[in-house]
Structure 1
Amino acid sequence: MVCPRADWVYAPPHRAVVAVDVQPCHVGQRGDHRSGRVDEACKLAAEAFDVGQTYDSERVTRAVATFRNTIGARSSRAVTELDERLYATYREER
């Protein structure tokens, strides 16, 4: 699978969604989730999440949450930071 590039999209929220949508390409196919790749993908997802918060984009937030669900149970600093951001956002909405 070839990962599309996100730099052709101009609006930051759209770029963020595209970046999160291609994260499975970064963490591999068929369960090939190497720790370094997962960490990098989570860092990119966290950046996309920040863009979504800046632009108050539920679409970006949902895309990041969907990505987080795809990587399953993981334990690393990058995963924990992403989890904390998502948790704080959904906790505020209640």
Structure 2
Amino acid sequence: MILIAALGCSRLNWSRQVERSLAWRLIGGTFLGSLVVDVLKLLIPRVRPRVAQLENAGAVLDTFGRQLLEAGDHSRSALMSFPSGHAAVADQQQ
């Protein structure tokens, strides 16, 4: 929404094909990046640091899967740490 608002407030000349194409690529890239991240989060379970028992981890790869989850927390969001959605969308804007 912020990207769409910024494009709307910019001095973008929508009648020029080149500028209109650039705007649609930015919008599409942002949404496609978010969609890819959400799909990867569903496919690759990685424990969030706030709910993990990190003292039981021997290596970084131990954070993938459910073995480090705290006893009471088995929510889906506790396993959606990878990849970072904020970093993926921010990278699209460069």
**TM-score past 0.5 threshold:** no
Larger radius of gyration: 2
Higher normalized helix content (fraction of residues): 1
Structure with greater contact order relative to length (CA < 8 Å, sep ≥ 6): 2
- The TM-score, its normalising length taken from structure 2, stands at 0.30
